[in-house]
Amino acid sequence: MQTFCYYMPTKVICGRDCIAEHGALLKELGRSALIVTGKSSAKNGALDDVLSALEHNGQTATVYDRVTPNPTVACVREGVALLKSAGADCIVAIGGGSPMDAAKAMATLAVQERTDDEIFAGGYEARALPMAHVPTTAGTGSEVTPYAILTNDAKQTKTSITSPAMFPRFAFLDGKYMERLPVVTTVNTALDAFSHAVEGMLSRQATPLSNALAAESLRILYPLLKKTSGPLTAEERDALLYASMLAGMTIAQSGTTAVHGMGYYLTYFYDVDHGRANGLLLGAALALCAKKGLVQLRNILSACGAELSEVCALLDGLLGRREEIPRARLEEFAARAMGNKNIKKSVYEPTEREMLEMFLSSFPASDA
């Protein structure tokens, strides 16, 4: 057996009304919380539940609800400034990946000063303000990872920062916050979760335990993925959220692969939703795995209980009409992606030529 580590210290609380039921746990975080969320995340009931729990615990709260998709360093700075002026000593993040990732960066930068130039330089110490995370989409898995992905304008992409202290202390998973999620968000975030489970199994850093978690995620997620474009029952929402969390536990160990690394350019330059960007490239990555005869592909398909052609057809159906992106841009993205650390972490380790082929087959109209 290969040498490997497993670490995921977040306490996860799953189930209907889990914040109301287990809100007393939040007391451990501190006496004054900064709530980090986005405009829409605040409207699904999660913010009210968190505010009630904090009030019940005698904790004060300040709300920062200005996190936008693909959060910037400026947003993180703004949150830290509010946190300090409010005297907050802990953070509760509510939302999808953007508020959760912004919150992790705020929790870290609040106690470890960095200039803008140093933010993506790595080497963070294991110190951050304690956090609780409440995901309101089923996709990012950020509630159980030590990563924060931020927009990196200097490199014109998205880049992750990480430290063991970025694992939230608590994650509260309640599918009811997703009841009124727009279909497109449900689909895109489910594609993100699917991508995490699949890429986790395609990572050179995969471990026996991360693979087991990924396979379990896929067993639940794949049949649900087919349903994301229609109405979902409460049980299906819960299962989707649970599977997304398992996929997060997976990448907390394995990291992601070239699909994520390549997708960030689609998001940075064409504002393609993050989950959709992964979904757009995933079929091409799986096809490359098939071409290279990788055993990991068989494990993925076995967990899905599907053939490669079925998986690709499902992705195609969920993605609908694909963006048109000039070939010259895709060539540029392939060249840029060569410098991405995720490429070498992929068992399908694509060459620049192969990345271009992946891009071109993902955006066929662009080949014209």
Q: How far is CA 131 from CA 22, 91, 94, 119, 148, in A?
A: 15, 5, 11, 20, 13
Distance separating alpha carbons of residues 151 and 349, to the nearest angstrom: 24
Binding characters for a copy of itself, 15-54, by CB under 8 A (x = yes): xx-x--xx--------------------------------
Q: Counting contacts by CB under 8 A, is residue 69 touching a copy of itself?
A: no
Helix (H) / strand (E) containing 223: helix 208-225
Q: Counting contacts by CB under 8 A, is residue 6 touching a copy of itself?
A: yes
77 contacts 66 by C-beta, under 8 angstroms = no
Applying CB under 8 A, among 124, 177, 242, 264 the residue interacting with a copy of itself is 242
192 versus 236: smaller Cβ distance to a copy of itself: 236
- Footprint (CB under 8 A) of a copy of itself, residues 176-235: 207-209, 212-213, 216, 235
Helix (H) / strand (E) containing 46: helix 46-56
Applying CB under 8 A, among 143, 192, 238, 354 the residue interacting with a copy of itself is 238
Nearby residues of 79 by Cβ (< 8 Å), 6 or more positions away: 34, 36, 64, 66, 67, 102, 103, 106
Q: Counting contacts by CB under 8 A, is residue 123 touching a copy of itself?
A: no
CB of 238 to a copy of itself, least distance (A): 4
Q: Counting contacts by CB under 8 A, is residue 11 touching a copy of itself?
A: yes
- The stretch among 10-18, 101-109, 269-277, 338-346 that binds a copy of itself (CB under 8 A) is 10-18
Q: Which of 239, 148, 134 is nearest to 186 (CA)?
A: 239
CB of 172 to a copy of itself, least distance (A): 10
Q: Which of 318, 322, 41 is nearest to 187 (CA)?
A: 318
- The stretch among 6-14, 267-275, 314-322, 328-336 that binds a copy of itself (CB under 8 A) is 6-14
Q: Counting contacts by CB under 8 A, is residue 12 touching a copy of itself?
A: yes
Distance separating alpha carbons of residues 307 and 321, to the nearest angstrom: 23
CB of 232 to a copy of itself, least distance (A): 13
| Residue 242 CB burial class (10 angstroms; 0-12, 13-18, ≥19) | buried
237 versus 276: smaller Cβ distance to a copy of itself: 237
Distance separating alpha carbons of residues 289 and 17, to the nearest angstrom: 42
Question: Which spans of this chain sit near a copy of itself (rule: CB under 8 A)?
Answer: 1-9, 11-16, 18, 21-22, 175, 207-209, 212-213, 216, 235, 238-239, 242, 246
